[in-house]
Chains A and B, each alone.
Chain A
């Protein structure tokens, strides 16, 4: 396999974006092309989860490639639930690594706020098992709540730990102008004060309002290229060094131990093995914190901390900016936002900024190795990447 580098990046604000979906995908792509200093690519992948359902639009890749005036290159949509973004990057990686293409553009877009929150929640719930979960009224918040309850009983995680994740990621998002939520929150305001139950009510106990990610629109793009192309461009050389993907049972109740996220564990192990690094070598990571509990659990499953000890690392401040291993410096899904199909690409966007040293006020000092975990379904289809700065 050939080595693959990230040579261009672009992103939109995450918020309510009242623009056509194809524009939300095209704008970050234009920025990424400009960032890379390229005007042509060999292939386009577009990550998206819900265009047909939410926006009454199919064939999104055809619209995007035309918007970008990149015809006649090949283009297709990659849909893999909330892991669509990372799956599209994986396809781009394979295309370059195999020698099929030299330059691949992977863009992404989601426009969830075209529908109301109830419809958006129902749409996301459609990724659960239709006969064993969905028909009983399961939603992602309710699944995450049951998961959190079990995790609390087994490992001693408390609501305070969940709130600490929210406070940390809101703080990080204040430093990210593209983030959806720019609201300072405190443990006192969302947990301890007499008003906390109204400020931060239960959505699905034990998960409260500030434990859940917002419903966001947004797009992000990266451009992947072979070593020959990358070395001609005047950008820091950031290599996509490790790729891993794993799946788990569709129904959560079929898992031997529901508190184990085996797909996260498997995907991360593959990515680290391929990159030839260990979890302890990572300088900065973006994890899929659609719910605060997931950041804690994923930080254990990928190998940063022992099982059941992620919340202790959080308490010690190890995952904060300035800590031993800053996690979700962008604000994470929790505060940067979670435009489903674009999330995996946006996670990579943040890691590339960090490895280039371009993350401004949230820069992790001397970051050389970055990690992402994009979590599809409820942990049933997970894609992880390891990135290395080479110069």
Chain B
């Protein structure tokens, strides 16, 4: 009798209610859609996350590396009850957020990756993730950690969180913080936005293709480089050499 090993390795198939897509206007006037993606769309996202593994700035490298593995695990059926939401502007991928259900009542927030910086792109995507846990799935609290100072400002300061330090978070085993439904309700009117239903043309455009980010995060610039180059030819040469080595020329 043959054994279907793959069936054993895969997580249990639970039914999780889907995230209804929403859209919002950013400060720059562009309309951004946040929607849930299926497993089949993950290969379209991975190529846009991979380059960020090499960006040593604001912890993009570690966030991208971990998110890449989480996306892959979701695609290959190696993580229990994970979901992935994306934010798109005119089809362009501008943020990816993900998490999973630890239990019926408790969620585990994984990552928020903004592929376009500024204008609260990441903050809106994170808020949608919390909305999913509390309003759609009906959970009571979500466990959270921050891996970067930007994340710290967004989750730890903008939202009121409680300590759950006795629970190691799945991201590195560090002490967890928790956003409860009660605290989310307190903050939602200031932080959670979005309109439903999404106009059909907007949704169709987002679903048609996940386009690459047009202005992805880059390695930190040497902000005095332009100034330096005006009087220090040696410094300019060294920088040019470094950029070449890093494939940035």
Check B28 against A198 for contact (C-beta < 8 Å): no
Q: Which of A172-201 contact B (CB under 8 A)?
A: 177, 183-186, 188-190, 193-201
Check A27 against B27 for contact (C-beta < 8 Å): no
CA distance A12 to B226 in the complex (A): 8
Known contacts A23-B224, A197-B190, A188 near B120 by CB under 8 Å: no
Q: Is A107 an interface residue (CB 8 A)?
A: no
Q: Which residue of A lies closest to B31 (CB)?
A: A193
Q: Is A335 an interface residue (CB 8 A)?
A: no
CA distance A34 to B231 in the complex (A): 7
Check A27 against B224 for contact (C-beta < 8 Å): yes
Stretch at the interface among A13-21, A139-147, A153-161, A244-252: A13-21
CA distance A177 to B221 in the complex (A): 13
Q: Is B197 an interface residue (CB 8 A)?
A: no
CA distance A28 to B24 in the complex (A): 42
Check B25 against A188 for contact (C-beta < 8 Å): yes
Q: Is A93 an interface residue (CB 8 A)?
A: no
CA distance A196 to B193 in the complex (A): 9
Minimum CB–CB distance for A159 against chain B, Å: 15
CA distance A258 to B30 in the complex (A): 39
Of A15, A19, A186, the residue contacting B27 (CB under 8 A) is A186
Check B28 against A189 for contact (C-beta < 8 Å): yes
How many residue pairs link A and B with beta carbons under 8 A? The number is: 81
Q: Which of B188-206 contact A (CB under 8 A)?
A: 190-195
CA distance A11 to B25 in the complex (A): 35
Q: Is B76 an interface residue (CB 8 A)?
A: no
Of A12, A188, A199, the residue contacting B119 (CB under 8 A) is A199
Q: Which residue of A lies closest to B215 (CB)?
A: A182
Check A189 against B29 for contact (C-beta < 8 Å): yes
CA distance A113 to B204 in the complex (A): 43
CA distance A198 to B127 in the complex (A): 11
Contact with A along B16-29 (1 / 0, CB 8 A): 00000000111111
Minimum CB–CB distance for B235 against chain A, Å: 11
Check A189 against B227 for contact (C-beta < 8 Å): no
Known contacts A13-B224, A31-B230, A183-B119, A200 near B27 by CB under 8 Å: yes
Q: Is B228 an interface residue (CB 8 A)?
A: yes
* Candidate in B24, B28, B190, B228 with the most chain A CB atoms within 10 angstroms: B28
CA distance A19 to B224 in the complex (A): 9
Contacts of A183 in B (CB 8 A): 27-28, 118-119
Q: Which residue of A lies closest to B224 (CB)?
A: A27
Query: Which bucket holds chain A's interface residue count?
Result: 20 to 34
Contacts of B26 in A (CB 8 A): 189, 195, 199
CA distance A188 to B195 in the complex (A): 15
Contacts of B228 in A (CB 8 A): 27
CA distance A33 to B29 in the complex (A): 43
CA distance A190 to B25 in the complex (A): 9
Q: Is B223 an interface residue (CB 8 A)?
A: yes
Check B25 against A184 for contact (C-beta < 8 Å): no
Check B227 against A10 for contact (C-beta < 8 Å): yes
CA distance A33 to B228 in the complex (A): 13
Of B29, B190, B224, the residue contacting A12 (CB under 8 A) is B224
CA distance A188 to B192 in the complex (A): 18
CA distance A61 to B208 in the complex (A): 60
Check A186 against B28 for contact (C-beta < 8 Å): yes
Known contacts A12-B223, A19-B224, A31 near B27 by CB under 8 Å: no
Q: Is A45 an interface residue (CB 8 A)?
A: no
Q: Is A387 an interface residue (CB 8 A)?
A: no
CA distance A10 to B228 in the complex (A): 11
Check A13 against B25 for contact (C-beta < 8 Å): no
Check B223 against A193 for contact (C-beta < 8 Å): no
Q: Is A371 an interface residue (CB 8 A)?
A: no
Of A23, A186, A199, the residue contacting B120 (CB under 8 A) is A199
CA distance A183 to B120 in the complex (A): 12
Minimum CB–CB distance for A190 against chain B, Å: 5
Check A17 against B224 for contact (C-beta < 8 Å): yes
Check A188 against B223 for contact (C-beta < 8 Å): no
Q: Is A210 an interface residue (CB 8 A)?
A: yes
Of B29, B124, B230, the residue contacting A186 (CB under 8 A) is B29
Of A15, A33, A200, the residue contacting B223 (CB under 8 A) is A15
Q: Which residue of A lies closest to B195 (CB)?
A: A194
Check A193 against B25 for contact (C-beta < 8 Å): yes
Check B193 against A198 for contact (C-beta < 8 Å): yes
Q: Which residue of A lies closest to B192 (CB)?
A: A198
Starting from the known contacts A13-B224, A28-B227, A33-B231, 18 additional A-B residue pairs (CB-CB under 8 Å) come to A12-B224, A12-B227, A13-B223, A30-B231, A34-B231, A183-B28, A183-B119, A184-B28, A184-B29, A185-B27, A185-B28, A189-B26, A193-B25, A194-B195, A195-B24, A195-B25, A199-B193, A200-B27
Chain B interface (Cβ within 8 Å of chain A)? 24-30, 118-120, 124, 190-195, 223-224, 226-228, 230-231
Q: List 29 A-B contacts (CB under 8 A).
A: A10-B227, A11-B227, A12-B224, A12-B227, A13-B223, A13-B224, A13-B226, A19-B224, A24-B224, A27-B228, A30-B230, A31-B227, A31-B230, A34-B231, A183-B27, A183-B28, A185-B29, A188-B25, A193-B24, A193-B25, A194-B24, A195-B193, A195-B194, A196-B25, A198-B191, A199-B25, A199-B26, A199-B120, A199-B193
